[in-house]
Amino acid sequence: MQHGKYRFIVGFLALPLIVYAIFVISPFVQAFQISMTNWSGLVGTAEFVGLENFQRLWESSDFWNALRHNVYMLALVPVVTLGLGLFFAFMLNVGGKRRKNEVIAGVGGSKMYKFVFFFPQVISVTIIAVIWFNIYNPDPDDGMLNSFLGFIGLDGLQNSWLGEKSLALWCISAVMVWGHVGFYVVLFSAAMASIPRDIYEAALLDGASRFHTFFRITLPLLWDTVQTGWVYMGIIALDAFALVQIMSVNMGGPDGATDVMPLRLYLTAFRDSQFGYASAMGVAMLIVTMTFAVLTMRFARRERIEY
Amino acid sequence: MGSTSAHNEGVGRRNLIKRSAALGLLTIPTMSFLSACATGGGGTDKETKAPGGEKSEKNPLGVKQGAPLEAFIFKGGLGDQYAKDAEADYKATYGAEVKHTGTQQVGPKLTPRFAGGNPPDVIDNSGADHLNMNQLSTQGQLQDLTVLLDAASMDDPAKKVRDTIHPSTIEKGKHGDKFDVLYYAFTIYGTWYSQKLLDDKGWAYPKSLDEMVKLCGEIKKAGIAPWTYPGKYPYYVHFNLFAQIAKIGGMEKWIAIDNLEPNAWTSNDAVKEVVEHYEELAAKKYFLEGSQGLTHIQSQTAWNKGKAVFLPNGSWVENESAPTTPKDFGMAVGALFDGTGDKMPHGTLRGEPSEPYIVASKGKNPAGGMELLRIMLSKKHAQNFATKVKSLTCVMDATEGMALSPGLASASKVFGEAGDNLISLQLQEWYPALTDEKIGGLTGQLLTGELKAADWIKKTQAEADKVAKDDSVTKFKRSA
């Protein structure tokens, strides 16, 4: 049966590989090629300009400004999202009162919570952006957030939110956190379910508190999942295109305060018709994202725990 | 991730090397596909043989019977029903299929089709995501519409189309010497208000900037916000701000601004006067609180509800805000305000051709595309447009004797009073990245009081200079 095994495998894999090569890998390679041209995107001809686009990018204060905002989000959003996700998952699985015949249990109503937390994952990001844009509406009667603040007598905290230069980016980041926490709650819950019960039992017999149980047992045993989640969430924070494009005032405003790399790319391509330059931005984004992923994998590595 | 994850080490270094080697192997054969890549096609500049029909009295453009037509229409504040009505007439006359697409995403949807050499025949290139017409024009993708101008009009074969439309339409539709964009609608920009509200409170629409400031004080005392604006799209403020500069400082100095000449902003006293006026409005808190976070729809709704008196806008506002406008609102628009030492008389107005229609030179049926425009330029369809979307067209005197809606009637009235004193600005049309993003950002800061007028002028000049130096942006010049 060994005879001709490879030919057999290659025969079956050829078609999907060719399709993959044409539709995934070749555009990928073309992006590099296009980034070295001055292609407008409107006609089929372009001139080779070498690394000129990258030089422009290096000198572009707009792009650095956008990159800085992405980095702010990268520093803040995954920490908050994963932290909340871990906390909620722990409370839903381990943090409850002890009942008879059960070593560990979640807080009351945890099934319902799981469902509610996961809800934002089901709606498309566009809808989430539109909903939150309306929640942030500055009008004290029509804007949900401002009218709520008015209702509980905190008129002093009413704000124009997305129109406020110092707050806008954080308003959008908050929506990003809100939209992704549910996914991590479910992910971490699944991972926690695979931790053997007897480990918890031993810890509880030794008189460990919830706090200790979490930091000494749950977190170390979940580390792999956390690391994966970190990379995934980081990539989302380095994107943020849909939220910013729909929610921000004046496309990345006020006055460039919420600009992000993909939005820059989009405007360069579709508003300014400079596809070559936009491709160079795409390549730069790839480099930034890959650097982040590799560094995370490198520095978050830990001793594996077998159980 | 229990013990099942023993193989999940992330991507180890060795694996990475193995995988990239595999990728390399895969990509070598694909190099041959690169000839079929995005930038490889559609670049041939062969003269497309348009399907030609017999030219005749009834068919001056020589449209071929039965040749299908494809129309791509921006479906925004004006909808696209008016275009469908014209298409129905085309269908009836030429017995041809018309493929209609109504969209808000003209640019993203059509960019690849232009690149691939199969654009639709006729396009209403409007909205925030429109195609870059400067690029299209310089790259020979736009049909020269002079033929259309010289064709006989639908209503009177003795008259050419060019004699039935407003002269500024012809002026605005040129790239260099080539007339290749037909701006179908005519937009009146200005300060919009509710006549009923002013009458009820005994206020009069102010004549000058100083009177405006005075009136704003009274309005604020009455517990209403004098102004609102859509902070999400600060360029709405420019509709008035730019026009006001042109009115006070004169067109000659504005043309210097359009042409990105050095010190065009800083050396113009009108700029200082107008921007300081806005600074004053901001300092005295004459803008509805929270305006900096509103969309155009939200600001129009607040205005309809009587939360604010004045709104910078264009004549499409009547149609767009119809769902929230009270019955007896009495929508009206006022002319520009007088400053000091004005170059243009009182009653001057910013009125501009709008809704840019283009015909693709490399489309399958350019003659048919132009014929659809000729149909739209008939009295019948111009009136249909006025009825359906409450807006003027470039067809002169088309609305005579019609019963007009309040906003449209007011717009026609100020348009008539302005006579030849019409202001037309090109800056936003030519350099949207500069006006909407850069200057828009500064204007947003000016109206929240975070930026002083002097800084606004300095920074705006710097941004304009940056664009002037940037070779990747196509430049345009105007002399009138």
The confidence score (pLDDT) of residue B41 equals 42
Where is B419: in which H helix or E strand? none
- Both B252 and B378 in a single domain? no
Q: What's the sign of the alpha-carbon dihedral A267, A268, A272, A276? A: negative
Size of interface A-B (CB pairs under 8 A): 185
- Both B233 and B304 in a single domain? yes
Average pLDDT for residues A125-129, to the nearest whole number? 91
CB contact under 8 A, B2 and A165: no
> B43 or B313: whose pLDDT is higher?
B313
**Residue labelled with tokens 């009069």:** B204
**Quick one: angle between helices A168-193 and A110-122, nearest 10?**
130
- Model confidence at B19: pLDDT above 50: no
CB contact under 8 A, A250 and B111: no
pLDDT band at A104 (very low <50, low <70, confident <90, very high): low
B54 neighbors B62 (Cβ within 8 angstroms):
yes
B412 neighbors B117 (Cβ within 8 angstroms):
no
The confidence score (pLDDT) of residue B402 equals 82
Give the closest of A37, A44, A164 to B43, CB-based: A44
**Alpha carbons B295 and A156: distance in angstroms, whole number:** 23
- Both B317 and B209 in a single domain? yes
- Model confidence at A298: pLDDT above 70: yes
- Both B262 and B338 in a single domain? yes
- Both B334 and B358 in a single domain? no
- Both B146 and B209 in a single domain? no
CB contact under 8 A, B111 and A41: yes
The confidence score (pLDDT) of residue B34 equals 39
Q: Given B413, B437, B454, which residue is the final one in a domain?
A: B413
Q: Select the highest-mean-pLDDT range: A58-62, A99-103, B22-26, B471-475.
A: A58-62
CB contact under 8 A, A163 and B231: yes
- Both B224 and B147 in a single domain? no
Tokens encoding A150: 């008015």
Average pLDDT for residues A50-76, to the nearest whole number? 90
Tell me how many domains chain B contains: 2
- Nearest by Cα to A194 from A232, A224, A215: A224
Q: Given B372, B393, B413, which residue is the final one in a domain?
A: B413
- Both B201 and B77 in a single domain? no
CA B442 to chain A, closest CA, distance in angstroms equals 6
**Alpha carbons B37 and A34: distance in angstroms, whole number:** 10
- Both B322 and B440 in a single domain? yes
Q: Give me the residues of A, 138-197, that contact B with CB < 8 A.
A: 138-140, 142-143, 146, 158, 160-165, 191, 194-195
Average pLDDT for residues A179-198, to the nearest whole number? 87
- Both B169 and B300 in a single domain? no
Quickly list H helices, chain A.
5-20, 26-34, 52-59, 61-93, 110-122, 125-135, 144-151, 168-193, 197-205, 210-212, 219-237, 241-247, 261-266, 275-299
CA B247 to chain A, closest CA, distance in angstroms equals 27
The confidence score (pLDDT) of residue A48 equals 86
- Nearest by Cα to B388 from B324, B318, B325, B301: B318
- Model confidence at B399: pLDDT above 70: yes
- Nearest by Cα to B72 from B83, B61, B85, B64: B83
Tokens encoding A2: 């060994």
Q: Report yes or no on B41 lying in a domain.
A: no
Q: How much is the mean pLDDT over chain B?
A: 84
- Taking CA–CA distances from B446, the nearest residue in chain A reads A255
pLDDT band at B46 (very low <50, low <70, confident <90, very high): very low
- Model confidence at B322: pLDDT above 90: no
- Model confidence at B295: pLDDT above 70: yes
| B417 Cβ under 8 Å from any chain A Cβ | no
Tokens encoding B212: 């405006």
pLDDT band at B183 (very low <50, low <70, confident <90, very high): very high
Where is B191: in which H helix or E strand? strand B182-194
- Taking CA–CA distances from B230, the nearest residue in chain A reads A249
Percent of chain A beyond pLDDT 90? 27
DSSP E strands in B269-374: the ranges are 308-314, 331-334, 349-359
Percent of chain B beyond pLDDT 90? 42
pLDDT band at B4 (very low <50, low <70, confident <90, very high): very low
CB contact under 8 A, A162 and B136: no
Tokens encoding A275: 């596809």
**What CATH number should be reported for the domain holding residue B88?**
3.40.190.10
Give the list of residues 6+ apart from residue A217 with CB closer than 8 angstroms, or none. Answer: A195, A199, A200, A203, A208
- Tens of pLDDT, residue by residue over B250-266, are 999 999 999 999 999 99
Length of chain A: 307
The confidence score (pLDDT) of residue B419 equals 82
Give the closest of A25, A143, A161 to B30, CB-based: A25
Tokens encoding B311: 């709104």
Average pLDDT for residues B212-235, to the nearest whole number? 91
- Both B332 and B462 in a single domain? yes
The confidence score (pLDDT) of residue B9 equals 38
> A298 or B143: whose pLDDT is higher?
B143
**Alpha carbons B463 and B234: distance in angstroms, whole number:** 16
- Both B326 and B404 in a single domain? no
Q: Report yes or no on B198 lying in a domain.
A: yes
Q: Which chain A positions have a beta carbon within 8 Å of B437's beta carbon?
A: 250-253, 256, 267
**Alpha carbons B373 and A88: distance in angstroms, whole number:** 61
Please give the single-letter amino acid code of residue B95: G
The confidence score (pLDDT) of residue B29 equals 38
CB contact under 8 A, B289 and A34: no
CB contact under 8 A, B433 and A272: yes
**Alpha carbons B365 and A245: distance in angstroms, whole number:** 36
CB contact under 8 A, A44 and B116: yes
Q: Given B371, B391, B413, which residue is the final one in a domain?
A: B413
Q: How much is the mean pLDDT over chain A?
A: 85
- Tens of pLDDT, residue by residue over A137-150, are 888 887 888 888 88
**In terms of residue numbers, what domain contains B407?**
69-186+352-413
Cis ω before A254 (30° cut-off from 0)? yes
Q: What is each CA distance from B38 to A29, B45, B138, in whole angstroms?
A: 11, 17, 20
Q: Report yes or no on B474 lying in a domain.
A: no
Please give the single-letter amino acid code of residue A121: Q
- Taking CA–CA distances from A259, the nearest residue in chain B reads B437
- Model confidence at B380: pLDDT above 60: yes
**Alpha carbons B345 and B250: distance in angstroms, whole number:** 10
CB contact under 8 A, A297 and B11: yes
CATH of domain A54-300: 1.10.3720.10
**Quick one: angle between helices B235-249 and B269-283, nearest 10?**
140
Average pLDDT for residues B80-91, to the nearest whole number? 92
**Alpha carbons A58 and B415: distance in angstroms, whole number:** 49
